[in-house]
Amino acid sequence: MLTTHLPPADAGHPPPPSDTEGGKKDRRDAYPTICNGVAVWGGRLSEAPALQKTLIRRAKASRIMNAGKNSETINLGHGSGGAMMQELIAQELLPALPGQSPQALEDAATISIAADRLAFTTDSFTVQPLVFPGGDIGTLAVHGTINDLAMRGATPRFLSLGLIIEEGLALELLRQIIKSIGAAAREADVNIVTGDTKVVGHGSADGIFINTAGIGECGAHVPSVTAAQPGDKVLVSGTLGDHGIAVMVAREALEISADLRSDTAALHTLVAAMLEAGGKAVHTLRDLTRGGLAAALNEIAASSGVGVLAEATAIPMRPEVGSACEILGLSPYAVANEGKLVAMVEPGAADDVLQAMQSHPLGRDACVIGEVISESPGMVQLQTPIGTRRVLELPAGELLPRIC
Amino acid sequence: MGGTRGGFLVNVIARCRELAQLIAEADPPPLTIMEVCGTHSHEIARYGLAQLLPDQVRLISGPGCPVCVTADGDLDAIVQIAQQGAIIATFGDMVRVPGPRGSLADARAAGADVRVLYSPMQSLEVARQNPDREVVLLGIGFETTAPSIAVTISDAAGEDLKNFSVHCAHKLIPPAMAALVEDPECRIDAFLCPGHVSTIIGTQAYDFLAEDYNIACAVAGFGPSDIMEAIYAIVGQIKGATSYVHNAYTRAVQVEGNTVAQAQMAALFEVADAEWRGLGTIPASGLRIGDEYAVFDARNRYELEPPIERDPGPCICGDVLQGKALPADCPAFGSACTPQSPIGPCMVSSEGSCAAVFKYQRQQG
A contacts of B12 (beta carbons < 8 Å): 385
Q: What is the ipTM of this complex?
A: 0.77
Which of A141-150, B40-49, B161-170 is predicted least confidently? B40-49
Contacts of A314 in chain B (CB under 8 A): 5
| Contact residues on chain A for B224, CB-CB shorter than 8 A | 385-386
Whole-model pTM? 0.81
- Give the whole-angstrom CA distance, residue A330 versus residue A278: 35
Q: Which of helix, strand or coil describes residue A200?
A: strand
A312 touches chain B (CB under 8 A): yes
CA distance B83 to B305: 12
Question: What pLDDT shows up at residue B203?
Answer: 97
Q: Please write the tens of the pLDDT for every residue from B102-127.
A: 999 999 999 999 999 888 999 999 99
- pLDDT score recorded for residue A2: 36
Which pLDDT score is estimated for A15? 38
A203 touches chain B (CB under 8 A): no
Strand-pair category, B57-61 with B31-35: parallel
Q: Which CATH superfamily is B13-310 part of? A: HypD, alpha/beta domain 2 (3.40.50.11740)
User: Which of B1, B51, B363 is the closest to A379 by Cβ?
Assistant: B363
For residue B364, give how far its alpha carbon lies from the nearest alpha carbon of chain A (Å): 6
Phi and psi torsions of A381, nearest 5°: -115, 150
pLDDT of residue B216 exceeding 90, the answer is yes
In chain A, residues with a C-beta closer than 8 Å to the C-beta of B364 are 376, 379
CB-CB neighbors (< 8 A) of A363 in chain B: none
Contact B42/A312, CB-based, under 8 Å?
Answer: no
Q: Which pLDDT band, with edges at 50, 70 and 90, does B33 fall under? A: very high
Is A384 close to B48, i.e. CB distance below 8 A?
A: yes
3-state DSSP helix/strand/coil % of chain A, to nearest 5:
35, 20, 40
pLDDT mean by block of 10 residues, chain A; 404 residues: 40 38 34 26 33 48 44 81 80 74 68 90 95 96 98 96 94 94 95 90 93 96 98 98 92 77 97 98 97 97 98 93 86 95 98 98 98 96 91 77 60
- Report the candidate in B188, B178, B153 with the shortest Cα–Cα distance to residue B168: B153
Domains and CATH numbers, chain A: 3-217 (3.30.1330.10), 233-391 (3.90.650.10)
Least confidently predicted of A81-90, A189-198, B10-19, B49-58:
A81-90
Question: Between these two residues, A274 and B94, which has the higher pLDDT value?
Answer: A274
Q: What are the boundaries of each domain within chain B?
A: 13-310, 317-364
- Are B47 and A315 in contact (CB < 8 Å)? no
Contact A317 B66 (CB under 8 A): no
With cut-offs at 50, 70 and 90, classify the pLDDT of residue B8: low
- Asked if the C-beta of A268 comes within 8 angstroms of chain B's C-beta atoms, the answer is no
A82 touches chain B (CB under 8 A): no
CB spacing of A385 vs B6 below 8 angstroms: yes
Residue A385 near chain B (CB below 8 Å): yes
B-chain residues near A389 (CB < 8 A): 48, 51
Q: What is the pLDDT of residue B320?
A: 85
d(CA B258, CA B254): 8
How far CA B224 is from CA of A78, A272, A366, A389, B365, in Å, comes to 58, 42, 28, 14, 29
Query: Which H, E and C letters describe chain B, residue by residue?
Result: CCCCECCCCHHHHHHHHHHHHHHHHHCCCCEEEEECCHHHHHHHHHCCHHHHCCCCEEEEECCCCCCCCECHHHHHHHHHHHHCCCEEEEEHHHCCCCECCECHHHHHHCCCEEEEECCCHHHHHHHHHCCCCCEEEEECCCCCCHHHHHHHHHHHHHCCCCCEEEEECCECHHHHHHHHHHCCCCCCCEEEECCHHHHHHCHHHHHHHHHHHCCEEEECCCCHHHHHHHHHHHHHHHHCCCCCEEECCCCCCCCCCCHHHHHHHHHHEEEEEEEECCCEEEEEEEEEECHHHHHHEHHHCCCCCCCCCCCCCCCCHHHHHCCCCCHHHCCCECCCECCCCCCCHHHHCCCCHHHHHHHHHHHHC
Chain B nearest-CA residue for A386 = B13
